[in-house]
């Protein structure tokens, strides 16, 4: 349960990221208002620390009250997240966090419900729950920490590990074709899909804010380094010397270009597939203009297929942001319509409406 935040720091208070207390006094929330009294216990150097800090900082900037937040997690390293947030939280069952969170969202649509999990938790045992939460468009903010490994159980290959990955559970190399989480989310008709990485706080906080503001299911994949069991998995694209040539930042309404001098870009070929081109060779008119609000997810899906592994140019940012009725709103609409047509329910009448019998 969140602690009282009435004594939040007033220094430098302004309306942005502020909450009005009794008497109309603007109280600015800070990161400490979202920090619990629990000792943060991940491996030293784990990327989870930076994700936690980014979330706490951004929630303070947004100005949402801790008591209006719920964090639901499954099992895994990422699942510790609710313990470290000064909000309501549920440490649920392996893979079932989206299902548990759906119940919370339906019962309490006034709350902001966030789901935290790893690639193993969400895409293996929890894959079914994830895709149905997304297709139903439940108002959940789903953050998936992708480190391409099982960390808590000490280094088995996960649904996002590359083919040939040698681990404790695949000593001769993994044979499984890995999931592309963004592609999975888009195929499941998620209305908001984004990707960031744990070394870029700006991209993470932007993704969290956009997810918070979105009405409906929001899915954010974060490349997260596991420095114990899969260290450097994303170094090929996130290292300082390679970022300009390997990270493709998506901006709505802008031509998709990247490189030290924006000399490279993304274009569509004759099959409707995205491909990397030199802008000078094809001309600026051939470069694809990003449209995150396009209702048909085909182009967003094509962008997600640009990179099959974090060793090649990889899109970052928002892939899709569209509007569709939310699941909880539609459920409430059905309830209201039923009451209007049939009147208030009668529990005793319902119980005796079918075949009944008396047990002596």
What does pLDDT average to over the chain? 92
Domain limits, the chain: 18-254+290-342
HSE-CB at 233 with a 13 A cutoff on CA atoms is 24
Predicted confidence (pLDDT) at residue 345 exceeds the cutoff of 90:
no
Superfamily per CATH, domain 18-254+290-342: Thiamin diphosphate (ThDP)-binding fold, Pyr/PP domains (3.40.50.970)
Host H or E run for residue 223:
strand 218-223
- What separation in angstroms does the CA of 120 have from each of 55, 116, 157, 159, 244? 21, 12, 9, 6, 30
Q: What is the reported pLDDT for 53?
A: 98
Q: What is the reported pLDDT for 6?
A: 46
Q: What is the reported pLDDT for 25?
A: 60
| 193-210 mean pLDDT | 97
pLDDT digits (tens, 9 = 90+) for 170-198: 999 999 999 999 999 999 999 999 999 99
pLDDT digits (tens, 9 = 90+) for 44-85: 999 999 999 999 999 999 999 999 999 999 999 999 999 999
Q: Distance between terminal CA atoms of the chain? A: 47
Task: Please report which confidence band the pLDDT of residue 26 belongs to, taking 50, 70 and 90 as the band edges.
Answer: low
């Amino acid at each position: 349960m969140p602690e009282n935040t009435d004594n939040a720091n007033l220094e430098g208070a302004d309306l942005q990221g502020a909450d009005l207390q009794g008497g109309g006094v603007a109280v600015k929330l800070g990161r400490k208002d979202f920090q619990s009294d629990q000792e943060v216990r991940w491996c030293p150097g784990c990327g989870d620390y930076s994700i936690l800090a980014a979330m706490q900082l951004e929630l303070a900037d947004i100005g949402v009250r801790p008591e209006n937040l719920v964090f639901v997690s499954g099992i895994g390293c990422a699942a510790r997240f609710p313990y470290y947030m000064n909000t309501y939280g549920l440490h649920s069952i392996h893979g079932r966090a989206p299902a548990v969170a759906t119940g919370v969202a339906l019962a309490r649509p006034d709350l902001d419900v966030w789901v935290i999990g790893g690639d193993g938790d969400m895409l293996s045992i929890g894959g079914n729950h994830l895709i149905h939460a997304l297709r139903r468009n439940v108002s959940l903010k789903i953050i998936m920490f992708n480190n391409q490994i099982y960390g808590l159980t000490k280094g088995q290959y996960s649904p996002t590990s590359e083919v040939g990955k040698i681990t404790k559970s695949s000593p001769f190399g993994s044979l499984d074709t890995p999931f592309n989480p963004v592609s999975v989310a888009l195929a499941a008709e998620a209305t908001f899909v984004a990707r960031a990485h744990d070394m870029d706080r700006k991209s993470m906080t932007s993704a969290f804010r956009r997810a918070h503001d979105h009405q409906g299911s929001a899915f954010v994949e974060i490349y997260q380094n596991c420095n114990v069991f899969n260290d450097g998995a994303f170094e090929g694209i996130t290292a300082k010397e390679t970022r300009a040539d390997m990270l493709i930042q998506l901006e709505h309404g802008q031509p998709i270009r990247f490189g030290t001098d924006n000399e490279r870009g993304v274009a569509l070929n004759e099959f409707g597939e995205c491909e990397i081109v030199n802008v000078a060779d094809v001309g600026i008119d051939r470069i694809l203009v990003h449209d995150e609000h396009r209702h048909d997810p085909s182009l967003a899906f094509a962008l997600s297929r640009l990179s099959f592994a974090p060793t090649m140019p990889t899109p970052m940012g928002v892939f899709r942001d569209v509007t569709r009725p939310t699941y909880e709103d539609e459920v409430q609409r059905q309830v209201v319509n039923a009451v209007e047509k049939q009147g208030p329910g009668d529990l005793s009448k319902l119980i005796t409406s079918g075949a009944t019998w008396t047990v002596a």
